[in-house]
Amino acid sequence: MSFTRDGVARQFFLKEIRGFFRDTSQWTQLLLLLALIVVYLFNFKALDLDRFAGITWNLRNTLAYVNLGLAGFVLSAICVRFVLPAVSLEGKAFWIVRSAPVSIKQFMWTKFRFYALPVVVVSEMLILMSNFYLGSSFFMTAVCAWVMGMLSVGITGLAVGIGAMYPNFEEKNVARMASGVSSIIYMSISAGLIVAVVGTMAYPVKLLQRMMRTGSPLVGAQWAIVGLSIVIVLSMIAASVLYPMRKGIESLDQREL
């Protein structure tokens, strides 16, 4: 076995994949997840805004931006079931991880990378397809996809980090691993992050949308607001990943074998 950084990541990735396919309870939950996504997207398809009078271009784009928050909450619900228990799934065999010639930091960041990719893919699918059914502009869809991508990374970091801060290696039922104190803390912080990010970007997106619609350029102060908002959002996302991951690493490092 190679203990280079790439070798460690590859071996952990293979372990996670094998563990998923061996656990039949995960398959059942995955089917429920797919059903949730289908119902969510079907609601937008069945909405058919063209049937309603007074549905303007601005209203379509406003609904698309509001949908960003809704998709974020759906994503949090998915992560609380599949990502939050990621560390607890090691179970009583966690001592093997502690005994292996790899650091807890490597272990944690490999977990983060493993789950971040599918979470981003699912979130982008949710936002792109729902915005397609809403008939939003290309600009609004692109903005929502970017914000959703950032939220996906932050939400994944929160789930992995908080799951490591409050692991439950004794529980064998995966559904119960995703309940309790850790899930309450995670969902509360995750909801706050979603509201903060969507709220911070609301006015800048409105300014940019108006510029795209009318063709009139923004003045210096307006560009400053847009730039500052992006910096704030990136800072919140970075904090939502780095701080929980650091605390999770410290928590696991302090656990006795």
Predicted TM-score of the model (pTM):
0.85
| 158 pLDDT above the threshold of 70 | yes
Domain boundaries, the chain: 5-253
Lookup: tokens for 146 = 């970017």
Residue 211 confidence (pLDDT): 86
**What value does the mean pLDDT take over residues 125-150?**
90
Q: Report yes or no: 88 and 169 within 8 Å, Cβ to Cβ.
A: yes
Residue 152 confidence (pLDDT): 95
Q: How many residues does the chain have?
A: 257
How far is residue 228's CA from residue 231's CA, in Å, rounded to a whole number? Answer: 5
How far is residue 25's CA from residue 154's CA, in Å, rounded to a whole number? Answer: 27
> How does pLDDT run across 102-137, given as a tens digit for each residue?
788 888 898 898 899 989 999 999 999 988 888 888
Burial of 34 (0-12, 13-18, 19+ CB in 10 A): exposed
Residue 225 confidence (pLDDT): 93
* % of the chain beyond a pLDDT of 70: 81
